[in-house]
Amino acid sequence: MDPITLGASVTTILLSNVGQKLIAKAADPEKVASGVSWLFQAVSHFFKIRKKQSPADTTLVPPPAPTVVPATNEAGSTPTPSSSPVSAGRGAVRLKALDEFTAEQLEQEITSLLKQIDTYLGNLRFEEEKAAFHGGASQAPVYVRNMIRLQQREVGRRLVRLNAAINKAYGVSAPDLDLMAAALEE
């Protein structure tokens, strides 16, 4: 299973359904989509290094900068920042020096998560086809709508776990995926 293709499916299917919820949480759907894209590029990079298709010192582009949600002070107004927000590491990203056991464990965890994401996406497509049979998700029976939401939530949870695994491997992670997972939980 190609991580880049799977990432494109996640971006297309999942983010098209939660765009408005992300906007309500002050997250830019395009930034979240670029974070998901980076995550699957990192997975692909990890597998290429593990399979010796790329040298271990091959660099990866850094993840996009996280969305900065302005905080409000006690008076309810937004304070003006005195300096620019700290962004994710802007330098090239390299795989951490991992011992073989840890690298193998991460590879197994990432492979398992990719299989789970693929399964939940298949289930989501199936439930969306059921909803289309009823005239769309808004007219589908409650159990179909609930199954669609369940599949979306499970994909979001797996993305957060995949992001944590990539953080273990690279020391950086895709930003804003927690906002997407929170939007899917609603």
Q: What is the pLDDT of residue 5?
A: 87
Is 78 a domain residue?
no
Q: What percent of the chain lies above the pLDDT cut of 70? A: 81
Number of structural domains in the chain: 1
Computed over every residue of the chain, the mean pLDDT equals 83
Report pLDDT for 175.
87
- Whether 7 is in a domain gets the answer yes
Instruction: Centre a 10 Å sphere on the Cβ of residue 13 and count the other Cβ atoms it contains.
Output: 16
pLDDT tens, position by position, 55-80 = 988 999 999 888 665 554 454 544 43
- Let me know if residue 85 belongs to a domain: no
Which amino acid is located at 8 in the chain? A
- Taking each helix axis from N to C end, the angle separating 3-24 and 100-133, rounded to the nearest 10 degrees, works out to 60
Q: How confident is the model at residue 87 (pLDDT cuts 50, 70, 90)?
A: very low
Let me know if residue 81 belongs to a domain. no
Core vs surface per residue 14-28: b (16+ CB within 10 A) or e: bbebbbebbeebebb
- Lowest mean pLDDT: which of 19-28, 49-58, 83-92, 96-105? 83-92
Query: Is residue 36 a part of any domain in this protein?
Result: yes
Q: Which domain holds residue 96?
A: 3-68+90-185
Q: What angle do CA 92, 52, 168 make, to 5 degrees?
A: 50
CA distance 152 to 137: 13
Q: Which pLDDT score is estimated for 137?
A: 86
Taking the C-alpha atoms of residue 101 and residue 111, their distance in angstroms, rounded to an integer, is 15
Say whether 132 sits in a helix, a strand or coil.
helix
The number of CA neighbours under 13 Å toward the Cβ of 93 is: 24
How high is the pLDDT of residue 85? 31
Contact 67, 176 (CB under 8 A): yes
CB 87 within 8 A of CB 65: yes
79: in domain? no
Residue 74 is assigned to a structural domain of this protein: no
pLDDT digits (tens, 9 = 90+) for 159-174: 999 999 999 999 999 9
